[in-house]
Amino acid sequence: MMDYHINQSMYSRWERTATNDLYVEPLDENSPLSGDISAFEASVSEGAVKDTVKNLGLALRFGAGCFPMRDTAYKSLLDRARIGGAALLKLKRRELADTLNLCLPLYKGRAT
């Protein structure tokens, strides 16, 4: 377990960006992103994209990069967008992405 955490620390990258500069895209089997690994940041593996397609189904775009979103990032994003609730995950991924994209520009803070 220690090796895992050491590896995560060595290869993790943290960036600060304005919350209203974040853009959420659907990453499900029907989205163009799911078949285009070149659309993602170079450090993103094909396995990470496939896992996200099977699970949360969202990608986060900021700057020039696109990243598959995992559960921890999703929970933080909901906090930034100031929305929540179990019903959100019942939405289709396009609807959820649109909802988040409507709410994120309202928040003036910065995200890490």
- Domain of 78? 17-107
Report if pTM > 0.95.
no
- State the pLDDT at residue 16: 76
Domain total in the chain: 1
In a domain? residue 32: yes
In tens digits, the chain (112 residues) has pLDDT values of 888 888 777 777 677 778 888 899 999 998 888 888 999 988 898 999 999 999 999 999 988 789 999 888 899 889 888 899 999 989 999 999 999 999 988 876 655 4
In a domain? residue 94: yes
Distance CA 32, CA 78 (A): 24
- State the pLDDT at residue 68: 94
CA distances from 94 to 8, 27, 33, 34, 98 (A): 30, 9, 12, 13, 6
